[in-house]
Amino acid sequence: MDFKIAKERFEELLIKLRALEYASATIYWDSATGAPKKGAGERAKTLGVLSGEVHNVMTCDDMVQCLKLLDENKDKLDKITYATLNKIKREYDQMAKIPKDEFAQYSELRSLAGQVWEDAKEKSDFTLFEPYLEKIFKYQRKFVEYRGYDGNPYNVLLDDYEPGMNVDILDDFFNSLREKIVPLVKRIKESGKKIRTDFTNRSFNVEKQKEFSKYLLDILGFDFEAGMFKESVHPFTLNLNPYDVRLTSHFTKNILLSGIYGTIHECGHALYEQDIDKDLVGSSVATGVSMGIHESQSRAYENVIGRNINFCGFIYPKLKELFTDKLQDVTLKEFYEGVNEVKPSLIRIEADELTYSLHIMVRYEIEKKLINKEIEVKDLPEIWNKKMNEYLGVSPDNDADGVLQDVHWSDGLIGYFPSYALGNAYASQFVNAMKKDINFNNALKEGNFKAIKDWLTEKIHKYGSTKMPNDILKDVTGEGLNPKCFIEYLKDKYEKIYNLK
Amino acid sequence: MDFKIAKERFEELLIKLRALEYASATIYWDSATGAPKKGAGERAKTLGVLSGEVHNVMTCDDMVQCLKLLDENKDKLDKITYATLNKIKREYDQMAKIPKDEFAQYSELRSLAGQVWEDAKEKSDFTLFEPYLEKIFKYQRKFVEYRGYDGNPYNVLLDDYEPGMNVDILDDFFNSLREKIVPLVKRIKESGKKIRTDFTNRSFNVEKQKEFSKYLLDILGFDFEAGMFKESVHPFTLNLNPYDVRLTSHFTKNILLSGIYGTIHECGHALYEQDIDKDLVGSSVATGVSMGIHESQSRAYENVIGRNINFCGFIYPKLKELFTDKLQDVTLKEFYEGVNEVKPSLIRIEADELTYSLHIMVRYEIEKKLINKEIEVKDLPEIWNKKMNEYLGVSPDNDADGVLQDVHWSDGLIGYFPSYALGNAYASQFVNAMKKDINFNNALKEGNFKAIKDWLTEKIHKYGSTKMPNDILKDVTGEGLNPKCFIEYLKDKYEKIYNLK
């Protein structure tokens, strides 16, 4: 095979890969938005066959040869092919360096572990899940060895979700949070200020909630002709390509805010995908570059924009119009404070903007130590509860509300959690940079969300995966991950709300 | 490769095939039930890649060897594998005997022809579509030569949709219809009896129509846990497997009957698929055996059951309850006659039960003569209009309402139309046989639809594709296709309604 043929063959293999991934994603979407219950078994089998095919294509001899030849001729590649090569090389490394039979055994283990986790969570009994989690970490440690690493072995896993990330940067980041945010949370607790939230649990008609979410998507600039909005048990965003980006939310009658902020969060993900440069469509890099950058977009929309006083001021009249009788005794100030209440709690997905990253810190420290064999899986419940108490001042009295709360580990997603916290930090850094170019607060006040979306598109979205996370960060903000910026944003905002200054 | 390995390898290839087909079907379902407009291009490309993969698997060297080895060892095969072999051999012949480049050119032509047909229909100008249709028939004639045939070359195409069918049987069938039904339609026209249908075009709330359709699906026995019901532009049924069968209907405010009978028709298809023996799930024969048998189930439900006086009597109170103000002046007799009005019309899909098969006769005669080069594509509009006048007494004054009305030919579906008429005839034969085992009219009167569904399951549905159409027909009715039975059913019913006796 010569370079020219390798380039063509590489493209052929990628076309097949993308079709298989498109198919799996559509089946997943279908499954999460109403596919019949009894079809679950055959659906799972089909997804298994398709992912086996992905594995076959990714590790076939032609792929190995193509990757080698293209890598040797990097300088001859156009920008898109170069970025694609780097992306596929990473994915290849994640699969191909692991012996095929172990990879298959591990896939099977994950599938089993998912079921056991569900059961263990329902029964709130970690000991049921423990042997499976033990094995998952054992495999991951082994895989890390196969794959090789620089410095800390946990770096390999961090890098899977946030290319370029490592424990040195993250230790520094979380140390700063520990030092500055943990005390802030305590001061808020001790301030005695009571924020009114009673109104958020009144009975809000679900159809009207949905209507309000559609209104939000509309004003924020979601393109309904290049996407869909539906309901599912957990909100998520799914991108087939920039012309077809779907998102869901979930509505509960007496939990007003979860539907609203679930929608805004997913909208951040969806805008990222919809606004990728259309020249990239039909390539493998027409998608967001990393979990961290993705989460920065959803968090920027959910928190920095969505929980800003000016944004609240813009949307509150419409909300009040829809729910006149439910909200007539609630002022804008009360609404704003209500959506920003700080309340250290046990469950990550229900956490407020301030304490959220502390939940992630608990998981980060545990994952890092487990991969480095400094702690053991069997001791997790104790360690978990201790850390929760230390950072958040609350501690679960059962495993379901503690170490068993998240699905991630059962699915082998180790190194994934930190990207949530990175997203929060990146978001504050991006908005800081944005403020130098546009009048952010004025844009929110006037509902000029196009200005914000256009800025994000130009600086971040349009690149898809052609630019690495850290390059985006540096080009946009002039620096790398900067915990100070995030901490200042939080201090500034919450000291005001809780009258701590 | 020895027999044992061939059997295993065959199963592996089929697993891949089924996953690819499952994926394409899900993407199609998604596309027809709300997928975003702008994603159409990438969606079409993905479907193209997946169908290319199907072609690769179907025609790969391993498949050729497996088919050969299994065929040589037929006697060693279990029932399911034997039926599967026969099914895949048929599909292989349809693809593999045609040179690959011609197959690809033909696929491209079909895709183009579809767009041209749409345009031509909109402009009502056959000359735009003519060169494409000319080529499609040219390819099909050529393919028939490659594939080889017994007797009439059109037999090959008939056999694609209804295994075992040929022009001798169909000539006889349509001759009988021409002789008996054409005069019956004339007598009805001359009878002067006016049937009341004004009420069917009143304004019926679409949500309530949907509710009524759900009621119908429920009483007829559709399993909502093994299927879904949605809306789409044209009603259709899609089966992923017996545990996941989806159907759609279409509702228009002032066309009451189209939503109702669209739903009942698709329900017939859906029950067939849902009631296939669960032991066949996970094989390639867990699906209806042919277009004709499938259509017999949908037509049995739509017409023989759905337009029966006792069925109307059972559902009419519920319909009246939903639309009290719209139907209070309409008696059951008027409703029954309204759903059975005979009105020769230009458009097949709007045709009544009696004239429907005459529409098919027009297409059958044209296809047969085109494939046999007895007529030319350019003369189709004239031929079409002449035949319509002869059989139905109506004739279109434009191509859109005439020769351009159906999408089928643009998609290369030649030999497909006859299965619609076969379905009508089979339906009458099956119900005749059913009447010997159960009190059909009583079951309808009492709403005991389970008795009917169970009978169909036991006699037809459960077999999936493990029994050939003609074997089903013979085992159930004791004979092959019998136009007399169909004609008697129609005469008996419509002579009563139009007081011709």
Residue range A174-230, pLDDT digits in tens: 999 999 999 999 999 999 999 999 999 999 999 999 999 999 999 999 999 999 999
Q: List own/partner pairs for B158-161 with CB under 8 A and 24 or more apart.
A: B158/B415, B158/B418, B159/B415, B160/B90, B160/B94, B160/B415, B160/B416, B161/B290, B161/B291, B161/B292, B161/B415, B161/B416, B161/B418, B161/B419
Chain B residues touching A33 at Cβ < 8 A:
none
Query: Tokens 């009988």 identify what position?
Result: B176
Nearest CA distance, B178 vs chain A (angstrom):
45
When CB atoms are compared, the residue of B15, B38, B228 closest to A226 is B38
Task: Kindly determine whether residue A26 and residue B22, on different chains, have CB atoms separated by under 8 Å.
Answer: no
The A244-249 sheet, strands edge to edge: A227-231, A244-249, A237-241
Task: Kindly determine whether residue B281 and residue A42, on different chains, have CB atoms separated by under 8 Å.
Answer: yes
Q: Which domains does chain B have, with CATH numbers?
A: 3-141 (no CATH), 198-343+421-465 (1.10.1370.30)
Instruction: Note whether A42 contacts B: Cβ–Cβ < 8 A.
Output: yes
Strand-pair category, A244-249 with A227-231: parallel
Q: Which chain B residue lies closest to A44 (C-alpha atoms)?
A: B19
Q: What is the pLDDT of residues A441-467, one digit of tens each?
A: 999 999 999 999 999 999 999 999 999
pLDDT of the residue at A191? 94
Decide: B242 and B275 in contact? Cβ < 8 Å: yes
Decide: B99 and B386 in contact? Cβ < 8 Å: no
pLDDT of the residue at A240? 98
AA letter at A496: K
When CB atoms are compared, the residue of A16, A20, A244 closest to B39 is A244
Instruction: Note whether B26 contacts A: Cβ–Cβ < 8 A.
Output: yes
Report how far Cα B140 is from the mean position of its chain's Cα atoms: 21
Instruction: Note whether A55 contacts B: Cβ–Cβ < 8 A.
Output: no
When CB atoms are compared, the residue of A26, A39, A228 closest to B241 is A39
- Tell me which residues of chain A, numbers 250 to 289, contact chain B at a CB-CB cutoff of 8 Å: 281-282
Nearest CA distance, A18 vs chain B (angstrom):
8
Buried b (16+ CB within 10 A) or exposed e, A131-168: ebbebbbebbbebbeebeeeebbbbbbbbbbbbbbbbe
Beta bridge partners of B122: none
Q: Which of A17, A24, A30, A51 to mutate to test the interface with B (most CBs of B within 10 A)?
A: A30
Task: Kindly determine whether residue B16 and residue A49, on different chains, have CB atoms separated by under 8 Å.
Answer: yes
Nearest CA distance, B314 vs chain A (angstrom):
29
Decide: A299 and A268 in contact? Cβ < 8 Å: yes
Instruction: Choose among B289, B233, B294: nearest CA to B259.
Output: B233
- Chains A & B: contacts with CB separation below 8 Å: 113
AA letter at A310: N
- Distance CA(A58)–CA(B488), nearest Å, equals 62
Q: Which of A18, A31, A49 to mutate to test the interface with B (most CBs of B within 10 A)?
A: A49
Chain B residues touching A29 at Cβ < 8 A:
30
Tens digit of each residue's pLDDT, chain B (501 residues): 899 999 999 999 999 999 999 999 999 999 999 999 999 999 999 999 999 999 999 999 999 999 999 999 999 999 999 999 999 999 999 888 999 889 889 988 998 999 899 999 999 999 999 999 999 999 999 999 999 998 999 999 999 999 999 999 999 999 999 999 999 999 999 999 999 999 999 999 999 999 999 999 999 999 999 999 999 999 999 999 999 999 999 999 999 999 999 999 999 999 999 999 999 999 999 999 999 999 999 999 999 999 999 999 999 999 999 999 999 999 999 999 999 999 999 999 999 999 999 999 999 999 999 999 999 999 999 999 999 999 999 999 999 999 999 999 999 999 999 999 999 999 999 999 999 999 999 999 999 999 999 999 999 999 999 999 999 999 999 999 999 999 999 999 999 999 998
Task: Kindly determine whether residue B36 and residue A227, on different chains, have CB atoms separated by under 8 Å.
Answer: yes
Task: Kindly determine whether residue B226 and residue A15, on different chains, have CB atoms separated by under 8 Å.
Answer: no
Instruction: Note whether B22 contacts A: Cβ–Cβ < 8 A.
Output: yes
Q: Which of B21, B27, B31 to mutate to test the interface with A (most CBs of A within 10 A)?
A: B27
Task: Kindly determine whether residue A46 and residue B22, on different chains, have CB atoms separated by under 8 Å.
Answer: yes
pLDDT of the residue at A279? 97
pLDDT band at A111 (very low <50, low <70, confident <90, very high): confident
When CB atoms are compared, the residue of A15, A20, A35 closest to B228 is A35
Q: Which chain B residue lies closest to A45 (C-alpha atoms)?
A: B19
pLDDT of the residue at B196? 97
Task: Kindly determine whether residue A243 and residue B38, on different chains, have CB atoms separated by under 8 Å.
Answer: yes
pLDDT of the residue at A60? 95
Nearest CA distance, B245 vs chain A (angstrom):
8
Q: Which of A266, A337, A341, A367 is catalytic?
A: A266
Nearest CA distance, B44 vs chain A (angstrom):
11
- Distance CA(B195)–CA(B498), nearest Å, equals 9
Q: Is A170 exposed, middle or buried (0-12, 13-18, 19+ CB in 10 A)?
A: buried
pLDDT band at A152 (very low <50, low <70, confident <90, very high): very high
Which positions of B are catalytic?
266
Q: Which chain A residue lies closest to B20 (C-alpha atoms)?
A: A50
Instruction: Note whether A39 contacts B: Cβ–Cβ < 8 A.
Output: yes
- Distance CA(B235)–CA(B162), nearest Å, equals 22
When CB atoms are compared, the residue of A24, A27, A244 closest to B42 is A244
- Distance CA(A465)–CA(A305), nearest Å, equals 24
Q: Which chain A residue lies closest to B26 (C-alpha atoms)?
A: A27
Instruction: Note whether A53 contacts B: Cβ–Cβ < 8 A.
Output: yes
Task: Kindly determine whether residue B38 and residue A225, on different chains, have CB atoms separated by under 8 Å.
Answer: yes
Chain B residues touching A27 at Cβ < 8 A:
22-23, 26
Task: Kindly determine whether residue B35 and residue A223, on different chains, have CB atoms separated by under 8 Å.
Answer: no
